[in-house]
Every structure is written in C-alpha cells, then in structure tokens.
Chain A
C-alpha cells in the first residue's frame, strides 16, 4: 500500500483555479520530483499537503489514516490540522530559519515543545515518558542531524552568519528533527547562488539513501533525472505527465512537457 495518497485535490483562490483535480501516490522511501513552469500550481500543491492551504475538495491520506477529506468538516479543525502536519516536513525556498536562535536551537525548539505537550497529555515522546529523557534524546538526535547535513562545526552560529546553502541545510535538519513521514521541498535551491546548489542537492541525495520519502519541487532537471523515482510534470493546475524519470524527462509524450524540457535543454547545453 502507498504511504501517501493524494486524491482529487482541488484548490481555487477566488475565481482562479490553481489545482484542478490532482491525484498521485507515493511509496515509502520513494522520491517524487515535481517539475513545471511558473504558476502551474507546484507550491500550492505542497502547501495543501502541509495544510498551509485548505483545498476545497479531495483526500489526503498517510498509511491508512485519512488526514484530510474535503467533504468532512471534522477534518478541518485547528487541533486536528496541527497533529496532521506532523506527518509532513517542509523545506521552504527562503529557508525561514528562526534568526534569534542558533543552528542547534533551531533544531530542538519544536521537538522540545512537542515533547512537553505530549508528556503532559500522558503520551510518550520517542518512547520516553520523562521530559528529561525525551530532551536528552532530542539533543542527541539534533547532533546526529547536524552531522548528517555536515554542519556540526556551525552548531552555535546564528543563521545570519551562515551562507544560503548552509542555512538551507539547517532548514532540512530542522524539518527532519520531527521525523516526518514525508519531507517536502519547495525549490530548495532557487534562492541560492549557483555554486551553493550542489551542497544542498547532495544532502537531499544523501537522505534518499537513508530511505526518506520525499517530494521535491525543483527546476533542477538533471537532479530530478538522477535522484527521483517518479516525476510529475504539472501545467496549469493539472498533472500533464507522470512516470519514471526515463519516461517523463528522457522520453516525454505530451507536447507541453516536450516544450518545457526543450527550454531547459537549451540552457544546459
């Protein structure tokens, strides 16, 4: 069974239809790359999956749990939404790190708040039932994550003292600190100088080998070809073409996909 199931998502802002019936599914450990021209609805789709936008219709399910159902108002409650968000992680184009906290503090802030809340409610956090033990675990994991993204020596720096690439790697570690089922990236390298994109893409590649399930919206076509298991090409709020990188990128069938990719090939040649 698929880990993530997205069915018939529809989203409009006023009269502008942005997502027109989007459906796809993703297995555990798979990497999905979403490509498409500007304004095709890629960001909106990720924001719907992370419950930053509420679709007008559709279903979002993780495992056998339905997280969102457009026809079920009970699924739209604040508390419900907040719990559901924890299934997903989100890495933004603009990093959005918390500037007043060090790298390390950025990583442990949300997990500590969550641990406190869960223990108060009589639940466990990461198998621990005392706050002290949970925090020890959170800290230990934060150190491991810093190592994973190669920023151990920047542990106590403030975001303003880091390069864009380093900031984005912190943002990735921060999202991973909550162990999401699916990690979403919205053009993670678009705000970076070209020479810094490599370090971020390499971190994402590294996550693939540790079996993270990921959705990456990207304009880096070669990255999508090399890393993704599945590629979706979006145009005007619909999935125009979907398949393996070989199918969609090497051998596109739709004229719109072909036109889009030929523009990129001209750049990279």
Chain B
C-alpha cells in the first residue's frame, strides 16, 4: 500500500474526527453555559443536582461514558443508536461538563465590585453582563478553553472503542490487513498539525485580549 493511498484513507478517517470535534464544540459550549448557570444557581437543589452530575461526568473516563451511551440503550430499551451519534452524545455531555466548570470559574472570578459599579450607574443586569462582565470572562477563560479544545481533538480518537470509523481505527485496520506499522505512527502528524493550528489560533486570541489587564 503506497503512501498516497494511506494518506487518503487516513484523511477520510480524520474527517470523522473533525466532524466529531466540530459537533462537540458547537453543542457543548452552549450546554456548558447552561450547566454553569445551574451550578451557580441560587436554588439549592438545582445547584446540588447540577454539581453532582458534573462531578460524576468529570470523575469517570470518557471511554466508559462512550460505552454506556452506546450499549446501555441497546441493552435495556432495545434502542440501537448509530455509533457516530452515540459518540457525539457522549462527547457533548462530557465536554459540556468540563466547559461548565471553566465558565463557572471565569464568571465567579469577576469581582462583585464590577456588578455594583454597573448597578450604581443605573445599568440593567443584562447590560452589565454583556457590556461589562462578558469580555472579562472571555479573557479569563481563553487559556483554559484553549487547553480543553486541544485535548478534545486528540480525545476524538477514543470513539474507536465503539467502532466509529475514525482515523486511529482506520490505521489499525490498515496495519492488520497489510502488515505494515508506519500508518499508525503517521496518524500523529495529522493531530500535530491540527493542534498546532489551534495553538496559534488561541495565542492570537490571547494577544488580542492582552490590550488591558485586570
């Protein structure tokens, strides 16, 4: 099997990784925001419930969660989820939990004085959030979100545990059929390039937000 064919095969697999990555980001960010609101809620039962759920999700392996989401419905409800759908669900839930903690940390780090200054200037709660607090939160969470998002693209290869045809599974199949090893190592290049681009992107955002301190 020549280099070009392998490159193409792996690229097809990596398409699955990228799709999983994009869908997870798209859904886990808003869901994470909702969860962070729950975990900061003044309604005690809601807060305790949300924090417990987040604790469970963050305290168990993503690989296990993938298997639970994929196999459990089939075992107990005779519902057969499509592999890729199951992967998206597990990833969104898992990453939303992580994001929610980052959002919560970012929001709670804003000094109370910022809100109070807005109040005494006659601003509405929503105006204070969007005009005063939001950018400060974004600045504070850029670095941890960058880390998490870089981890996400690498984590997508875990989906092979439920046989989603992502790049690592593709490579493993090639290795098994053709009795060559190098395609497996070659997958690392894709991840490296992708992570490199993400790193540059986040460095750029951090630079953009570096115009003020505090």
Contact = CB atoms under 8 A, between A and B. Distances in A.
B114 A52 contact: no
Interface string A226-245: 00000000000000000000
B136 A89 contact: no
A175 B120 contact: yes
B214 A82 contact: no
Contacts of A50: 119-120
A114 to B, nearest CB: 6
B117 A92 contact: yes
A50 B119 CA distance: 9
Chain B: interface residue count, which band? 20 to 34
Interface string B100-120: 000000000001011011111
Given A85-B120, A113-B123, A113-B131, A92 B213 contact: no
Contact of A160 (B121, B135, B212): B212
A50 B122 CA distance: 10
Interface string A98-124: 111000000001100110000000000
Nearest to B209: A100
Contacts of B114: 96, 98
B127 interface: yes
A8 interface: no
Given A109-B131, A113-B131, A160-B213, A82 B122 contact: yes
A100 B122 contact: no
Given A92-B116, A99-B213, A110 B123 contact: yes
B109 to A, nearest CB: 13
Interface string A109-153: 110011000000000000000000000000000000000000000
A159 B120 CA distance: 19
A175 B122 CA distance: 10
B132 A92 contact: no
A159 B121 CA distance: 18
Contacts of A114: 122
A217 to B, nearest CB: 15
A88 interface: yes
B117 A97 contact: yes
A2 interface: no
Contact of B113 (A51, A86, A96, A175): A96
B122 A92 contact: no
Given A159-B214, A160-B212, A178 B113 contact: no
Interface in A148-201: 158-160, 174-175, 178
A40 interface: no
A178 B122 CA distance: 9
Interface in B107-154: 111, 113-114, 116-124, 127, 131-132, 135-136, 139
Contacts of A92: 113, 116-117
Given A92-B113, A109-B131, A113-B131, A100 B120 contact: no
Nearest to B212: A158
17 contacts: A52-B116, A82-B119, A83-B122, A94-B113, A96-B113, A96-B116, A96-B117, A98-B114, A99-B136, A99-B213, A99-B214, A100-B212, A110-B121, A110-B123, A159-B214, A160-B212, A160-B213
Q: Which 6 A-B pairs have the closest CB atoms?
A: A110-B121, A99-B214, A96-B117, A96-B113, A160-B213, A90-B120
Given A90-B120, A94-B113, 18 more contacts: A50-B119, A82-B122, A85-B120, A96-B111, A96-B114, A96-B117, A98-B114, A99-B136, A99-B213, A100-B135, A100-B136, A109-B131, A110-B118, A110-B122, A110-B123, A113-B123, A114-B122, A158-B211
